[in-house]
Amino acid sequence: MYETITLEKRGRVAVITINRPDKLNALNSKVHAEGIAALDELRRDDDVVVVVLTGSGDRAFIAGADISEFEGQTPVTQRSQFQERTLFNSIDIFPKPVIAMVNGFCLGGGNELALACDIRVCSDNAKFGQPEINLGIIPGGGGTQRLTRLIGEGRSMEMNLTGDMIDAETALKFGLVNHVFPADQLEAETMKLAEKISEKAPIALQLAKEAVKFASRSNLDEGLRREVDLFAICFSTEDKQEGVSAFLEKRKPVFKGK
């Protein structure tokens, strides 16, 4: 049904794979459109609790925007494209947790997509960068904004001004990724993490994501007020009752997303 991505459900975890390995999974307009459509599908699917985003093949997560589409673009077409609902923002506002499983080059728009995800993990051979400067442009999907909030101004500035790549260990040190795994264990370890999260109460997961995301968009007082409101909503759920009862009865909770 999709041409440039694949969508696979493994229990409560859905895996979206950008599937243009011969172009190192570069993001063209079809990938953007199909990625947005897949997220729409997964948002409505109550069986899916967590999404993993990755790239096909063993060389790249995503090597950036498809540079061949840049030719013929004007300021007007680019601005309107990026003001529409983008794949970056669709991930950012997607209510369920999204994990970026970075299996190789993670450059430009690829790094921006990873940044829009909630958790990033990578293989030990992954390489991260914002090389737009080498093309005489700057990032347009969050590479100067989300990256700076995540790793700090000095580090983000250097990546954006030099266009140089950093390796997995440096990305870990910068806090750009949460975990680095040997390449042959990346998928298994990522699925372990995704499955662990997918067993939690789905509504609480969504509220936790919303609350944490709000932290970088608000001042502390606003953030704490929002947290209390979202915390209070948990008390309207059946899953809160199940979680508390299971603890008191010394058994594992079975959450239903209600």
Q: Which residues are catalytic?
A: 112, 132
Could you tell me the smallest distance in angstroms from the CB atom of residue 104 to ligand COA? 9
Quick one: which of 5, 17, 31, 66 contacts ligand COA (CB under 6 A)?
66
Report the nearest approach of ligand COA to the CB of residue 187 (Å). 21
User: Are the beta carbons of 171 and 103 closer than 8 angstroms?
Assistant: no
Residues 120-139 that bind ligand COA (CB under 6 A): 131-132, 135
Could you give the C-alpha distances from 15 to 42, 50, 125, 249, in angstroms and in order?
Answer: 10, 9, 21, 35
The count of residues in the chain is 258
- Of 111 and 237, which CB lies nearer to ligand COA in the complex structure? 111
Residue number with CB closer to ligand COA (110 or 243): 110
Structure tokens at 125: 């051979």
Distance in Å, CB of 5 to ligand COA, minimum: 16
- In the chain, at which residue ranges do the beta strands (DSSP E only) sit? 5-10, 13-18, 50-55, 60-62, 98-102, 105-107, 119-123, 127-129, 166-167, 179-181
- For position 67 contacting ligand COA by CB under 6 A, the verdict is yes
| Contact between 92 and 116 (Cβ < 8 Å) | yes
Task: Take residue 190 and report the two structure tokens written for it.
Answer: 């990522």
Region near ligand COA per CB under 6 A, out of 34-42, 73-81, 102-110, 118-126: 102-110
Closer Cβ to ligand COA, 162 or 241, answer by number: 162
Using CB under 6 A as the criterion, which residues of the chain lie in contact with ligand COA when the complex forms? 23-24, 26, 63-68, 105, 107-108, 131-132, 135
